[in-house]
């Protein structure tokens, strides 16, 4: 038992959850990492801040909606789904919500979706890493019983954890996600040093992270649909699409290239009309 990870989680500090703080700090640091790369791709700071404002709102909505949809049986009244302060959010839902709410602004500003998302990919990885630190502090995403050496030894019953600790030693899936995303961040930072087609970094991020979530969620205690969690179905579908793009298409999709402004058709040249020159006879 001495080999297992053991500590007392801190679910609240002055009524503030370290989990929420981790998500907020992760979002801000991820945005900061995005700025230099966005500038290199011709995206101004004003454009980035406008997108991030919408992405932050979309992340909150998407994270909550995805969780509620996956746990409908937990709610007796529709209004209970609005009580986000009671906990219950989905990281993948937050990512998709952020992207969806920022899309109209990208199109309005005539920005390439693929350039924006490539700029954001390392920042998203950093955001996941920081956010998972918050999960570890509060003891969230505790999974099935295990004898794995990285397993988490459940604290005494009088110590609260953000998610139930069922057993003596359990999988700490937030730790696995944290450890798997660190090399992903380093890989993305290395990849972006070389010029690649737009969308490449996004596809790498989604494929790598999708594989990790697909594996990790088998170790979680969560609601399952046809044998997999909602996050697993989402990760599997996203991973399959992005892997196909990486292995077979290997180029930027035609959709979302809003930076390519359509030039108005050139008008045919008009023939100048001149009156015939009249010469007078002597």
Per-residue pLDDT, 230: 86
Per the CB < 8 A criterion, the answer to whether 99 and 179 are in contact is no
At 276, the pLDDT band (50, 70, 90 cuts) reads low
Per-residue pLDDT, 186: 97
- Of 70-84, 107-121, 147-161, least confident by mean pLDDT is 70-84
- In the chain, the percentage of residues whose pLDDT exceeds 70 is 86
Nearest partner of 136 among 7, 1, 29, judged by Cα: 7
Alpha carbons within 13 angstroms on the beta-carbon side of residue 244 total 7
What is the tens place of the pLDDT at every residue in 4-52? Answer: 899 999 988 877 888 888 888 999 999 999 999 999 999 999 999 999 9
What is the tens place of the pLDDT at every residue in 93-103? Answer: 889 999 999 99
Region of residue 267 (left: phi > 0; alpha: psi -120 to 50; beta: else): beta
Q: What is the mean pLDDT of the chain?
A: 87
Euclidean distance between CA atoms 119 and 33, whole angstroms: 9
What is the tens place of the pLDDT at every residue in 232-270? Answer: 999 999 999 999 999 999 999 999 999 866 444 555 555
């Amino acid at each position: 038992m001495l080999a297992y990870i053991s500590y007392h989680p801190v679910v609240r500090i002055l009524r503030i959850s370290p989990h929420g703080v981790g998500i907020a700090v992760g979002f801000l640091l991820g945005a900061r990492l995005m700025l230099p790369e966005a500038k290199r791709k011709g995206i101004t700071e004003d454009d980035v801040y406008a997108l991030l404002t919408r992405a932050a709102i979309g992340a909150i909505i998407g994270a909550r909606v995805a969780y509620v949809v996956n746990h409908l049986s937990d709610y007796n009244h529709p209004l209970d789904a609005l009580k986000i302060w009671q906990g219950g959010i989905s990281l993948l839902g937050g990512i998709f919500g952020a992207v969806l709410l920022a899309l109209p602004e990208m199109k309005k500003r005539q920005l390439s979706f693929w350039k924006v998302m490539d700029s954001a990919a390392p920042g998203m990885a950093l955001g996941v890493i920081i956010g998972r630190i918050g999960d570890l502090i509060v003891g969230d995403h505790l999974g099935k019983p295990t004898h794995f050496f990285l397993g988490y030894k459940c604290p005494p019953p009088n110590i609260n954890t953000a998610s139930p600790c069922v057993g003596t030693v359990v999988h700490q899936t937030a730790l696995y996600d944290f450890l798997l995303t660190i090399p992903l961040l380093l890989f993305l930072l290395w990849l972006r040093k070389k010029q690649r087609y737009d969308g490449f970094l996004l596809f790498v991020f989604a494929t790598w992270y999708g594989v990790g979530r697909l594996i990790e969620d088998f170790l979680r205690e969560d609601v399952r649909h046809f044998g997999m969690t909602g996050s697993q179905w989402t990760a599997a579908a996203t991973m399959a699409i992005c892997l196909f793009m990486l292995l077979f298409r290997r180029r930027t999709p035609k959709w979302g290239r809003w930076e390519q402004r359509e030039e108005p058709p050139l008008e045919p040249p008009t023939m100048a009309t001149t009156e015939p020159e009249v010469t007078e006879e002597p």
